[in-house]
Amino acid sequence: EDKVVQSPLSLVVHEGDTVTLNCSYEVTNFRSLLWYKQEKKAPTFLFMLTSSGIEKKSGRLSSILDKKELFSILNITATQTGDSAVYLCASYGQNFVFGPGTRLSVLP
């Protein structure tokens, strides 16, 4: 059975801090690893990673995938209060399997 695990489940930081969110997976016929940000409503897409070792970046967010060790990390530098959200990691093989999410709270 496909499985995605995230850590930590909850994180509280202050503005300006850098955070690293972790995601490990066990997926049959793995094709990609995706990161989503969820505020009050639907998840919004951040990154899709298919190849090992290639960093994806978008502003202060970046992510990398290690297909050998079956994990991914999401980094957020210089955090802002607007980064407060639940960050979901998902694997895509036959369908999308989501982890439990990391709830990030950024305090002013």
Binding residues for another protein, per CB under 8 A? 4, 6, 9, 31-32, 34, 41-43, 45, 48, 50, 88, 90, 92, 95-101
Shortest approach of another protein to residue 108 CB, angstroms? Answer: 25
Minimum distance from CB of 93 to another protein (Å)? 10
d(CA 15, CA 32): 31
Q: To the nearest whole angstrom, how small is the minimum distance from the Cβ of residue 2 to another protein?
A: 9
The residue among 9 and 107 lying less far from another protein, judged by its C-beta, is 9
- Per DSSP bridges, beta strands 10-14 and 102-107 are parallel
Return the bridge partners of 91, or none. Answer: 33, 97
Q: Which is nearer to another protein, 28 or 95 (CB)?
A: 95
CA–CA separation, 103 and 19 (whole Å): 12
Kind and range of the H or E element at 105? strand 102-107
For another protein, the closer of residues 51 and 59 by Cβ is: 51
Q: Rounded to whole angstroms, how far apart are CA atoms 19 and 72?
A: 14
